[in-house]
Each structure stands twice: as C-alpha cells, then as structure tokens.
Amino acid sequence: MRRCVGCMESKPKRSLLRLVSSAGRPAFDPTGKANGRGVYLCRDTGCLEKARKRKSIARGLGAEGLTEAEYEALKDALEREISKGAAEE
C-alpha cells in the first residue's frame, strides 16, 4: 500500500503512478523502480491539483519548488498515462 500525495488515500502500489526527481525535475517512473526519492499519485488530475495546492510533490521529492511549466508537463504526462491505462482496459 502507498499513499497518494494528492488525496492522501492509501491504495495498492499498482493503482498509483510514481513520480521521481530525474535530473532535478519531476518525472513519472513507469517501472516503479527508478532510483531516488519518489512520491505516488492517483491516476486522476484532481489529485495532481490537490498536490499542487499543498506543494506536496516538491516536498516529497525534496525539491525547492516546482515551476508552472513543470506542473503543466506533469499534467500532460498524467493525462497520457490515464488515456493509456483506459486503452489497456
């Protein structure tokens, strides 16, 4: 079980997406095994917005703060992951 940094609900690891700090920027870890600090997020843009307001992604990754462009890139990547997951079902 892992906890989403957006809604703070504990869910099975497989149902969440992992974010890691890659070269100082947050990026999704599709394998779930990349080195470094990681945080988990539900496959829901609402959770990303909640995490953004609370600044829990930056805090969880040990970063100073995330820019607007980084959040937009994360939102686009999350939407791709959501649509990819829907296509697999």
The CATH number that domain 2-88 falls under is 3.30.1230.10
pLDDT tens track for 23-79: 888 999 988 899 989 999 999 999 999 999 999 999 999 988 899 999 999 999 999
CA-wise closest residue to 39 among 26, 20, 52? 20
Region of 85 on the Ramachandran plot (φ > 0 left; ψ -120 to 50 alpha; else beta): alpha
Name the helix (H) or strand (E) containing 50: helix 45-54
User: Structure pTM?
Assistant: 0.89
- Angle at CA 31, nearest 5°, toward 33 and 49? 95
